[in-house]
């Protein structure tokens, strides 16, 4: 039974409108190029209506993979398709693996702390996830390839794309963890001192240092860069015809690039340009 008839799972018309509207998402994120206001993470501000960081990330990011899975399990039935090709399930699997890491494991189990966020940022990310899940889910669950023959002749591209996707994901995880280690180390130091002096713990919220390992030696947002590599590989798996995967990548860059440039300005102000040693914001040697 459909959750919202015509919308979830999406009718072809809803899906086409969603894809079209979502392709205009960079227009909405244009505010990030002109405003320095982005109340989340490093640049979060105090406000009583703020959402706690970990729960904010868990709720806003979970909607994507849950919606995509719901569409994968309901739309084929509505369209009278007995099965979906394995290529479709492979891409859906990549998406779900990434978001189980991003939406569940990172905020709830791995990250030592996450700054509170303004509900507006939460709402934008929630909308991003929903539009993206309908756009990709619709393509994967019946409006894109519907038989193994549709994937034939693309196996080499798919294999290369999967390898790029996997390296991108591993790179993203590695650099995320390098940031976590900064706070884990601060926590260990505080605990050792507390044991010696008997004083209470200060906590590691908002403890920041310049990350140095891996690609952080060249860019301040290496985790963002790896995520772009990951979704570029994902697009390669789907091929040029997979316009939802292209829109996803373009929209990620449209929101994360200005955020990384703003983050670089933040690092310069906090630590001084000299301490950054000529690091770029997000693309090694370029930006
Ligand atoms: N932001 C986006 O638009 C966006 C979009 C798609 C995917 N993502 C992915 O989501 C992940 C998180 O993104 P984000 O924008 O939250 O990244 P971020 O600002 O770099 O923060 C990531 C985590 O590391 C902590 N942190 C950041 N810089 C640190 C430093 N210099 N020293 C110690 N801890 C530091 C943050 O703590 P605080 O929260 O306390 O600052 C947060 O817990 C990334 O892997 C990114 O690829 C982000």
Q: Where are the domains of the chain?
A: 12-24+39-152, 158-287
Q: Is residue 149 within 8 Å of 29, Cβ to Cβ?
A: no
| Residue 224 CB-density burial (10 A; 0-12 exposed, 13-18 middle, 19+ buried) | buried
For residue 277, what is the DSSP state? T
Residue nearest to atom 35 of ligand 1 (CA): 179
Residue nearest to atom 42 of ligand 1 (CA): 114
Q: Where are the alpha helices (DSSP H) in the chain?
A: 12-22, 25-28, 31-34, 53-78, 86-99, 119-138, 148-151, 155-197, 222-238, 243-271, 273-276
Q: What is the largest CA-CA distance in the chain?
A: 69
Q: What is the dihedral of CA 254, 283, 136, 129, to 10 degrees?
A: -60
* pLDDT tens sequence for the chain (287 residues): 789 999 999 999 999 999 999 999 999 999 999 998 999 999 999 999 999 999 999 999 999 999 999 999 999 999 999 999 999 999 999 999 999 999 999 999 999 999 999 999 999 999 999 999 999 999 999 999 999 999 999 999 999 999 999 999 999 999 999 999 999 999 999 999 999 998 889 999 999 999 999 999 999 999 999 999 999 999 999 999 999 999 999 999 999 999 999 999 999 999 999 999 999 999 999 99
**Ligand 1 centroid to residue 201 C-alpha, Å:** 24
Residue nearest to atom 14 of ligand 1 (CA): 41
Secondary structure (3-state) at 219: strand
Pairwise CA distance, residues 164 & 158, whole Å:
10
Pocket of ligand 1 contains residue 206 by CB under 6 Å: yes
State which of 223, 229, 257, 258 you would mutate to test the pocket of ligand 1, scoring each by most atoms of that ligand within 8 A of its C-beta. Answer: 223
Pocket of ligand 1 contains residue 227 by CB under 6 Å: yes
Q: Is the link from the previous residue into 10 a cis peptide, with omega within 30 of 0?
A: no
Pairwise CA distance, residues 190 & 197, whole Å:
10
Secondary structure (3-state) at 69: helix
Q: Which two tokens stand for residue 136?
A: 């990709």
Pairwise CA distance, residues 242 & 226, whole Å:
21
State which of 26, 111, 224, 225 you would mutate to test the pocket of ligand 1, scoring each by most atoms of that ligand within 8 A of its C-beta. Answer: 224
Residue nearest to atom 8 of ligand 1 (CA): 224
The residue among 137, 59, 151, 143 whose CA lies nearest residue 103 is 59
Residue nearest to atom 6 of ligand 1 (CA): 252
pLDDT digit string, tens, across residues 84-110: 999 999 999 999 999 999 999 999 999
**Ligand 1 centroid to residue 171 C-alpha, Å:** 14
Secondary structure (3-state) at 1: coil
Pairwise CA distance, residues 245 & 249, whole Å:
6
Q: Which two tokens stand for residue 104?
A: 């569940």
Q: Which two tokens stand for residue 278?
A: 């000529």
Q: Which two tokens stand for residue 164?
A: 């790029």
Residue 186, Cα to own-chain centre: how many angstroms? 26
Q: Is the link from the previous residue into 39 a cis peptide, with omega within 30 of 0?
A: no
| Residue 83 CB-density burial (10 A; 0-12 exposed, 13-18 middle, 19+ buried) | exposed
**Ligand 1 centroid to residue 41 C-alpha, Å:** 7
**Ligand 1 centroid to residue 214 C-alpha, Å:** 16
Say what the pTM is.
Answer: 0.97
């Amino acid at each position: 039974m459909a959750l919202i008839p015509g919308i979830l799972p999406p009718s072809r018309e809803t899906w086409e409108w969603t894809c079209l509207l979502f392709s205009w998402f960079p227009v909405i994120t244009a505010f990030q190029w002109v405003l320095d206001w982005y109340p989340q993470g490093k640049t979060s501000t105090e406000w009583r209506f703020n959402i706690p960081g970990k729960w904010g990330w868990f709720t806003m990011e979970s909607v994507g993979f849950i919606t995509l899975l719901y569409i994968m399990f309901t739309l084929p039935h509505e369209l009278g398709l007995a099965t979906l090709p394995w290529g479709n399930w492979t891409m859906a699997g990549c998406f779900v693996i990434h978001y189980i890491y991003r939406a569940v494991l990172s905020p709830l189990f791995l990250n030592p702390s996450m700054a509170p966020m303004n509900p507006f940022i939460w709402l934008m990310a929630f909308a991003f996830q929903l539009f993206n899940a309908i756009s990709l889910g619709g393509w994967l669950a019946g409006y894109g390839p519907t038989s193994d023959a549709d994937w034939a002749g693309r196996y080499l591209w798919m294999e290369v794309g999967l390898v790029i996707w996997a390296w991108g994901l591993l790179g993203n995880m590695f650099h995320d963890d390098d940031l976590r280690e900064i706070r884990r180390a601060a926590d260990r130091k505080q605990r050792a001192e507390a044991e010696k002096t008997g004083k209470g713990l200060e906590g590691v919220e908002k403890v920041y240092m310049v990350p140095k390992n891996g690609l952080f030696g060249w860019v301040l947002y290496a985790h963002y860069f790896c995520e772009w590599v990951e979704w570029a590989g994902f697009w390669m798996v789907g091929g040029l015809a997979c316009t939802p995967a292209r829109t996803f990548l373009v929209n990620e860059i449209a929101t994360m690039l200005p955020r990384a440039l703003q983050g670089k300005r933040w690092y310069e102000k906090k630590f001084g340009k000299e301490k950054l040693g000529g690091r770029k914001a997000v693309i090694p040697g370029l930006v």
